[in-house]
Amino acid sequence: MEQVSNVVVQPADRKKIWGIWKVALILFIVTSIEYVFAFTMSKGMLLNVIFVTLTIVKATYIVSEFMHLGHEIKSLMYSIILPMLFIVWLIVSLVNIEGAAIKGARGTQDFTGSNGATEQVDEGH
């Protein structure tokens, strides 16, 4: 350091640093659990609900600890979180209700894997 500096560097708080690494550890463990579910469970609505729940767990840790929102005052917290809750509501309803309704209205058939009647009729052709 060439210039004379009167900045006082405070010592690191070991507890605080450990807290940061603890959150990182939780994020890795939750991701590992997601991998375990991905390879042991068959696809379905239950698995999707588990994945979304674990994702929200991870998002909560990132937002409240890494982004420090959990330590801001309540009004700031809610002004960020409430709009996002409405968005999540929108996503869930668009996926589950609208997506399924459009699929039903189009008469789209799922591919079942059995050799009979697997030919898809695509009206777009």
Partner 1 sequence: MSTTATAIDNKKGLWRGGVSPFKASYGKLMMWFFLLSDAFTFSTLLVTYAFIRWSAPAYKGEASDFVFSTEYWPIPEKVYEAFPGFHGVELPLVFVGLMTFILIMSSVTMVLAVEAGHRMDRKSVVKWMLWTIIGGIAFLGCQAWEWTHFINGTEAGTIGDVVKNGLWINNYEIHGANLTFNQYGPPAFAALFFFITGFHGFHVFSGVVINVIIFFNSATGMYERRGHYEMIEKVGLYWHFVDLVWVFVFTFFYLI
Structure tokens at 49: 């609900």
Instruction: Write out the H or E segment, with its range, that includes residue 15.
Output: helix 14-40
Is position 117 an interface residue for partner 1 (rule: CB under 8 A)?
A: no
Rg over CA atoms, the chain: 24
Distance CA 121, CA 119 (A): 6
Number of residues in contact with partner 1 under rule CB under 8 A: 67
Cα dihedral 83, 89, 95, 99, rounded to 10, equals: -100
Interface mask toward partner 1 for 27-46; x: CB under 8 A: xx--x--xx--xx--xx---
CB 44 within 8 A of CB 23: no
* Residue 3 binds partner 1 (CB under 8 A): yes
Q: Shortest approach of partner 1 to residue 112 CB, angstroms?
A: 5
Q: Which residues bind partner 1 (CB under 8 A)?
A: 3, 5, 7-12, 16-17, 20-21, 23-24, 27-28, 31, 34-35, 38-39, 42-43, 47-48, 51-52, 54-55, 58-59, 62-63, 65-68, 72-73, 75-76, 79-80, 83-84, 87, 90-91, 94-96, 98-100, 102-103, 106, 108-114, 120, 122, 125
